[in-house]
């Protein structure tokens, strides 16, 4: 049976999965949601013998029903290959009484790879299916992780080009090096003299520029977005939760009738929403514990039922969670209104107008499986140090927020359920914060020196993605002003 997608903001036209992937956002500004969440048609026992790729097929086929088996398997094969440094793709590691689901074994050692390594293939397949012959131009503003993962995902994919804008002085030295050394004929990286918001709002303007869209159409080009509200990013993320449950089942850690709690370090609410969809699809998941850093909008929301972005934005050691508007939360709001687009739209209007909205007590009741928690920097650093000293296992600063929240939850609730912590980045991506947390003197040492230190401390080899940075030539050195973005894009696309 075909599964259709509709917007969270109006009951307008329903679209097939491939159209939703091509469009990204619905025309009314809403997010695409499946009309109903499909139910897994394999047992945990059956899943437990599958590879990651087979699991991906069995899960994704339920959501992307207009893709043929051949198309979907083709996308999966191209995505989850030896770009990942382990055949397991998303291995579980036991430490501190929990299972860390390592989502950072892909090309850029952050969890964004899980979805961005397959999105380009889903998108080009979707274009073919919808008779779109234009070349797809991905335009992205990044504060670090997304940009590199998108570059790595789209590099060399026929029928696509990608342009990434980043704040010239607003990303870490390793993150910048990762981007400016990106290979591929179809990729361009541009530094902006400004902050992330400048880059982001500049990109939004370009997406909304009708004249530019017309010029591009005449040249056989069209913009598309790789950001995390695209269902082409959400659906691949459901896979690893099913995979993790099946692996725990196989290892005898989970028995019939038991459920796994999941703790997710959260920013845009994409990763934890995928866990929720996995639960709705029938995976044995219990509590969904949403971990925030100092920017604890979501924690406050789960406590009070009010989402309020009117607060100071705090820069932390877990930058990918420094977010005050968690876009994917809209899909959860839609669900707890009982799939009521008008009510969802109303709250999103309040959010963009007054910066806040409140849900009804009835809606709040439907959030009973969710828990919010937060951990400030010192608390997360303590978790890094404690787990390193106890188990010799090193967490990155994002995962450490989740580990700290988990400890607090376990102590306060006496809930002894098996727990999976989503581990969203390799510690090698943030060697300075990590070595500082462990208690090393970092001043006067370069990030790459700290990488070697981390390797010695953790007895793990330096990942290929970081090793390559030592000698990789810089291929992108273009820098522009905020108001030169449009000209820059036209020049890159040969439209100037
Ligand atoms: C993007 C990211 C997150 C946040 O994930 P969301 O899906 O936006 O909630 C957490 N940790 C790391 C390392 C990330 O890159």
Predicted confidence (pLDDT) per residue in 216-245, tens digit: 999 999 998 888 889 999 999 999 999 999
**pLDDT band, residue 493 (cuts 50/70/90):** very high
90 within 8 A of 245, measured Cβ to Cβ: no
**Å from CA of 173 to ligand 1 middle:** 19
**pLDDT band, residue 163 (cuts 50/70/90):** very high
Taking residue 135's Cβ as centre, other Cβ atoms within 10 Å add up to 18
Instruction: Please give the distance of CA 181 from its chain centroid, rounded to a whole number.
Output: 22
Per residue in 389-441, pLDDT (tens digit) is: 999 999 999 999 999 999 999 999 999 999 999 999 999 999 999 999 999 99
**Å from CA of 128 to ligand 1 middle:** 30
Give ∠ CA 121-270-67 in degrees, rounded to 5. 30
With a cut of 90, say whether residue 12 has pLDDT above it.
no
Ligand 1 atom with the smallest distance to the CA of 266 is: 9
Predicted local distance difference test score (pLDDT) of residue 25: 87
Predicted local distance difference test score (pLDDT) of residue 214: 95
Whole-angstrom Cα distance, residue 140 to residue 159? 17
With a cut of 80, say whether residue 144 has pLDDT above it.
no
Q: Which of 23, 83, 112, 429 is catalytic?
A: 112
**Å from CA of 284 to ligand 1 middle:** 23
**Å from CA of 403 to ligand 1 middle:** 15
Q: Which of 144, 321, 429 to mutate to test the pocket of ligand 1 (most atoms within 8 A of CB)?
A: 321
CATH for the stretch 92-109+232-465: 3.40.50.1100
Percent over 90 (pLDDT), the chain: 89
Per residue in 314-328, pLDDT (tens digit) is: 989 998 898 888 999
Predicted local distance difference test score (pLDDT) of residue 323: 87
- Is beta strand 221-224 parallel, antiparallel or unpaired with respect to 135-141? parallel
Smallest CA separation from ligand 1 atom 14, residue: 320
Predicted local distance difference test score (pLDDT) of residue 174: 84
Ligand 1 atom with the smallest distance to the CA of 269 is: 9
Per residue in 438-487, pLDDT (tens digit) is: 999 999 999 999 999 999 999 999 999 999 999 999 999 999 999 999 99
Report the chain's mean pLDDT, rounded to a whole number: 95
230, 19, 225: which is closest to 137 by C-alpha? 225
State the pTM of this model. 0.95
Q: Give residue for tokens 């828990």.
A: 371
Taking residue 131's Cβ as centre, other Cβ atoms within 10 Å add up to 6
Smallest CA separation from ligand 1 atom 2, residue: 320
Predicted local distance difference test score (pLDDT) of residue 175: 87
Smallest CA separation from ligand 1 atom 1, residue: 320
Whole-angstrom Cα distance, residue 396 to residue 321? 13
Taking residue 304's Cβ as centre, other Cβ atoms within 10 Å add up to 13
- Which protein residues touch ligand 1 with a CB less than 6 Å away? 110-112, 145, 228, 265-271, 320-321, 398, 424-425
With a cut of 80, say whether residue 52 has pLDDT above it.
yes
Q: Which of 271, 276, 288 to mutate to test the pocket of ligand 1 (most atoms within 8 A of CB)?
A: 271
Q: Where are the domains of the chain?
A: 92-109+232-465
Mean pLDDT of 301-311: 97
Per residue in 13-24, pLDDT (tens digit) is: 899 999 999 988
Q: Which of 227, 230, 268, 428 to mutate to test the pocket of ligand 1 (most atoms within 8 A of CB)?
A: 268
42 is catalytic: no
**Å from CA of 108 to ligand 1 middle:** 13
């Amino acid at each position: 049976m075909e599964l259709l997608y509709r917007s969270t903001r109006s009951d307008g036209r329903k679209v097939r999965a491939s159209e939703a992937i091509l469009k990204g956002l619905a025309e009314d500004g809403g997010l695409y949601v499946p009309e109903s969440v499909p139910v897994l048609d394999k047992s945990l026992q059956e899943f437990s013998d599958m590879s990651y790729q087979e699991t991906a097929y069995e899960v994704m086929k339920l959501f992307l029903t207009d893709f043929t088996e051949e198309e979907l398997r083709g996308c999966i094969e191209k995505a989850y290959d030896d770009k990942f440094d382990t055949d397991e793709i998303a291995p579980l590691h036991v430490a501190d009484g929990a299972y860390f689901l390592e989502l950072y074994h892909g090309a850029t050692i952050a969890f964004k790879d899980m979805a961005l390594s397959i999105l380009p293939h889903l998108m080009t397949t979707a274009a073919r299916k919808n008779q779109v012959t234009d070349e797809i131009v991905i335009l992205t503003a990044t504060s670090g992780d997304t940009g590199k993962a998108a570059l790595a995902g789209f590099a060399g994919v026929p029928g696509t080009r990608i342009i990434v804008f980043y704040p010239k002085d607003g990303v870490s030295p390793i993150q910048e090096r990762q981007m400016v050394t990106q290979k591929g004929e179809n990729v361009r990286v541009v530094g902006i003299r400004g902050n992330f918001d400048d880059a982001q709002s500049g990109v939004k303007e370009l997406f909304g520029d009708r004249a530019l869209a017309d010029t591009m159409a005449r040249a056989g080009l069209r913009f598309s977005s790789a950001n995390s509200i695209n269902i082409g990013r959400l659906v691949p993320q459901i896979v690893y939760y099913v995979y993790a449950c099946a692996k725990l089942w196989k290892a005898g850690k989970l028995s019939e009738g038991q459920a796994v709690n999941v703790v997710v370090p959260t920013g845009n609410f994409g990763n934890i929403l995928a866990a929720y969809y996995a639960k709705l699809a029938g995976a044995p998941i219990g509590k969904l514990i949403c971990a925030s850093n100092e920017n604890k909008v979501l924690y406050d929301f789960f406590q009070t039922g009010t989402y309020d972005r009117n607060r100071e934005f705090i820069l932390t050691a877990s930058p990918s969670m420094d977010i005050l508007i968690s876009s994917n939360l809209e899909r959860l709001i839609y669900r707890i209104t009982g799939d009521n687009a008008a009510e969802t739209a109303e709250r999103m209007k309040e959010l963009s107008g007054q910066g806040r909205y409140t849900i009804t007590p009835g809606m709040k009741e439907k959030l009973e499986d969710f828990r919010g928690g937060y951990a400030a920097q010192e608390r997360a650093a303590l978790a890094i140090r404690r787990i390193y000293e106890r188990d010799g296992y090193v967490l990155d600063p994002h995962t450490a927020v989740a580990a700290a929240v988990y400890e607090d939850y376990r102590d306060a609730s006496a809930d002894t359920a098996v727990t999976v912590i989503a581990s969203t980045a390799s510690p090698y991506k943030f060697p300075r914060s990590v070595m500082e947390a462990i208690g090393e003197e970092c001043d006067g040492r370069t990030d790459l020196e700290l990488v070697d230190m981390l390797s010695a401390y953790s007895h793990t080899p330096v990942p290929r993605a970081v090793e390559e940075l030592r000698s990789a030539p810089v291929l992108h050195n273009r820098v522009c002003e905020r108001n030169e973005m449009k000209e820059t894009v036209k020049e890159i696309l040969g439209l100037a």
